[in-house]
Structure 1
Amino acid sequence: MPDLRGLTVVVTTADPDRWRAALMLASAEAALRGRARVYCHEAAVTLLARSELVDTALELGVILIACQTGLAAHDLPLPDFAEAGGLVSLLAELGEDRLVTL
């Protein structure tokens, strides 16, 4: 199999259907051995409560990134399984990744 470009998925709202789709898409990429990241933008950080899909994504190596502004706005701590970040750092580290927004 040729080297895969990575995949970065931005979840733009606190919609559970978009969250589920983002985790499934990133998990599929990780299963193919590509770099997979999911960035929860602003209110989407409220979706970071642990669930079966989060656990599966983490086991496959998906990186979860929580918007620092969103965490502060919703008075939430950074989950121990996620990284803190922002749009600037996300784009700065994008490299050759494909970028998908949901």
Structure 2
Amino acid sequence: MRGLTIVVASADPARFDAALTLANAQAALGGRTRLYLHDAAVTLPLTGTLMDAARDLGVELIACQTALDTHGVPLPGGAEGGGMVGLLATLDDDRLVFA
């Protein structure tokens, strides 16, 4: 199964909810799933049932290091820091979705 990498491009809670739902479905099917928080998306609260499910399903959470510095927020628990170049360099044959 091809992997899925989702870029969350804003701090819109509805779009984040949709991205988490998509990520959880992919992970439940057994595919590699990565969720990348870009720019203001790093300020989203990483709590709730969908986020708990994502963690349980093994969804990889990556937060943009530059955005963390820009918005003055710490690296969220369970996330790794990264950047767009690194994300694309490790895309392999993943499908790339923007939410």
Normalised by the size of structure 2, how large is the TM-score? 0.96
CA positional deviation for 1:51: 2.1
The answer to whether residue 49 in structure 2 is matched with residue 41 in structure 1 is no
In structure 2, the partner of 1:22 is 19
| Counterpart Cα distance in 2 of 1:47 and 1:91 | 23
Question: Match of 2:61?
Answer: 64
4+ residue runs over 4 A deviation:
none
Give SS of 1:50's match.
coil
Root mean square deviation, CA, Å: 0.9
CA distance in 1, matches of 2:48, 2:67: 20
Q: TM-score, normalised by structure 1?
A: 0.93
Preserved contact between residue 39 and residue 64 of structure 1 (Cα < 8 Å): yes
Equivalent AA in structure 2 for residue 5 of structure 1: R
- Stretches of structure 1 lacking an aligned partner (at least 5 in a row): none
TM alignment of 1:71-82, pairs within 5 A:
71-82=68-79
8 A Cα contact 1:48 1:79, kept in partner: no
